[in-house]
C-alpha cells in the first residue's frame, strides 16, 4: 500500500535510492499473495460508521485488499474511491475485479495532495500505509476533505509493535532500517496540531500468526514489506540467511500487533477556499460531491470527486505510472 512519491529517508549508509512508488511498482503483481489481510479492524470501522450511505476514500489502497472488505461493509448507496501513487497497484485492483473494481473508483493520487473538494467525504481510511506519508501534510489534507463530523481511520503499527514481530525479533537490522513508523503518542500529538481534527480513540489489535521458514523466506525475498527495499541486495541476502538460522523451528507462531487510530473532523478546515476554476467551482453538485463520467478509452464509469484536469485520475487496468 503507498502514499507520497518521496525518497525513503534513513540514516544508514548505502541504502538503495528507491522511491515508495518504485518499490510498489515492482512488487504489485505478487503483493497480494505475500501479504496478510486483517479483517478485525475493518469490522470495527464498520461498527463506528453512521448507518446511512457515505462517501469515502481509502488512501494508499494498493491492490485493494482492504478496500474490498470496506466496500462490502458500507451501506447501500455509498460511494468509495481508492487512491494510490502506484498505477501498477491500481491496475491490480482493477484486474482482480475484472475491470469493475466492485463499485470502487481507483484514483492515482498522492496522500498529501488530495485533489478533492473541500468537505466532500464522510470517511477516510489508511491501512498499513501511513508510514509512507508526510504525516503532518497528510493529516492537513484529510482535515480539508472531511465533512464536519467525518471520520479518519488509520490502521498501522508502532515502532514498539514492530519490534515484537517475527521480523523485529529475528531479522537482522529490521527495526534499525525501519525508522518511518510513528508511536501512539506521536499520532496523538500530530492530530492535536492539525487544525480541524480531534483524536477520538485508539484501539490495539492482536493477531495470532503462524508460518513456515519457507513462506517467510519467500516473503522477505519478495520484499513484501517495503522495509526490505531499504537493504542493499548483498545485505538483504545475508540477513535472510541469518534470519532463517535464528528461527526456533521450521514452523513458527507469534502474535502481530497493530493500532487503529480514530480521528474526527471537528469543523471545516479551510486551508483556503477552493481555487476558482479548479475544485468545487467546477465540480457538479451531486450528492457527496461525486461527479460521474466515462473515462476516455475505457468502459468503466468513473465517479469523480474532482474537477476535470486535476492531478488525480481514474486508472484502468494496464495503466502506467506517469514518468
pLDDT band of 312, cuts 50, 70, 90 = very low
pLDDT at 163 over 50: yes
Tell me what pLDDT residue 222 has.
Answer: 84
pLDDT at 33 over 80: no
The mean pLDDT of the chain is: 78
**Does residue 125 contact residue 58 with C-beta atoms inside 8 Å?**
yes
Whole-model pTM: value is 0.77
- Residues facing residue 198 across a β-bridge: 264
Tell me what pLDDT residue 316 has.
Answer: 37
More confident of the two residues 310 and 213: 213
DSSP 97: T
pLDDT band of 115, cuts 50, 70, 90 = confident
Report, as an integer, the average pLDDT of 222-234.
89
Tell me what pLDDT residue 98 has.
Answer: 53
Nearest Cα neighbor of 151 from 114, 123, 127 is 123
Tell me what pLDDT residue 38 has.
Answer: 86
Tell me what pLDDT residue 31 has.
Answer: 44
For the ranges 54-58, 76-80, 169-173, 301-305, which has the lowest average pLDDT? 301-305
Kindly give, in sequence order, each residue whose CB lies less than 8 Å from that of residue 188, ignoring residues fewer than 6 positions away.
199, 202
Tell me what pLDDT residue 274 has.
Answer: 46
Nearest Cα neighbor of 39 from 3, 12, 2, 65 is 65
pLDDT at 267 over 80: no
pLDDT at 19 over 70: no
For the ranges 68-82, 96-110, 136-150, 263-277, which has the lowest average pLDDT? 263-277
**Does residue 85 contact residue 54 with C-beta atoms inside 8 Å?**
no
- Residues facing residue 211 across a β-bridge: 252
Q: How far apart are CA 6 and CA 3, in angstroms?
A: 9
Tell me what pLDDT residue 8 has.
Answer: 39
More confident of the two residues 86 and 198: 198
pLDDT at 21 over 60: no
**Does residue 59 contact residue 125 with C-beta atoms inside 8 Å?**
yes
More confident of the two residues 289 and 67: 67
Amino acid at each position: 500500500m503507498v502514499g507520497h512519491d518521496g525518497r525513503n529517508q534513513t540514516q544508514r549508509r548505502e541504502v538503495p535510492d528507491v522511491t515508495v512508488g518504485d518499490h510498489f511498482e515492482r512488487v504489485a503483481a505478487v503483493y497480494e499473495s505475500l501479504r496478510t489481510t486483517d479483517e478485525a479492524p475493518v469490522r470495527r470501522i464498520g461498527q463506528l460508521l453512521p448507518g446511512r450511505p457515505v462517501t469515502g476514500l481509502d488512501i494508499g489502497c494498493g491492490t485493494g485488499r482492504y478496500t474490498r472488505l470496506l466496500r462490502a461493509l458500507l451501506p447501500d448507496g455509498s460511494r468509495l474511491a481508492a487512491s494510490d501513487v502506484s498505477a501498477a497497484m491500481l491496475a491490480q485492483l482493477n484486474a482482480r475485479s475484472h475491470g469493475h473494481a466492485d463499485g470502487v473508483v481507483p484514483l492515482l493520487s498522492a496522500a498529501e495532495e488530495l485533489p478533492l473538494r473541500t468537505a466532500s467525504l464522510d470517511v477516510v481510511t489508511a491501512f498499513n500505509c501511513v508510514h509512507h506519508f508526510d504525516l503532518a501534510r497528510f493529516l492537513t489534507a484529510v482535515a480539508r476533505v472531511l465533512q464536519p463530523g467525518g471520520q479518519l481511520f488509520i490502521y498501522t503499527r508502532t515502532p514498539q509493535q514492530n519490534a515484537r514481530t517475527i521480523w523485529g525479533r529475528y531479522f537482522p537490522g529490521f527495526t534499525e532500517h525501519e525508522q518511518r513508523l510513528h508511536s501512539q503518542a506521536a499520532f496523538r500529538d500530530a492530530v492535536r496540531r492539525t487544525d480541524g481534527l480531534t483524536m477520538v480513540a485508539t484501539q490495539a489489535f492482536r493477531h495470532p500468526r503462524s508460518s513456515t521458514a519457507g513462506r517467510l523466506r519467500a516473503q522477505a525475498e519478495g520484499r513484501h514489506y517495503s522495509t526490505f527495499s531499504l537493504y542493499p541486495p548483498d545485505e538483504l541476502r545475508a540477513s535472510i540467511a541469518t534470519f532463517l538460522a535464528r528461527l526456533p523451528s521450521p514452523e513458527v507462531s507469534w502474535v502481530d500487533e497493530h493500532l487503529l487510530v480514530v480521528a474526527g473532523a471537528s469543523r471545516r478546515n479551510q486551508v483556503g477556499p477552493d481555487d476558482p476554476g479548479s475544485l468545487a467551482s467546477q465540480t457538479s453538485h451531486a450528492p457527496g460531491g461525486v461527479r460521474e463520467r466515462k473515462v476516455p478509452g475505457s468502459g468503466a464509469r468513473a465517479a469523480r470527486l474532482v474537477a476535470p484536469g486535476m492531478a488525480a485520475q481514474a486508472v484502468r487496468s494496464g495503466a502506467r505510472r506517469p514518468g
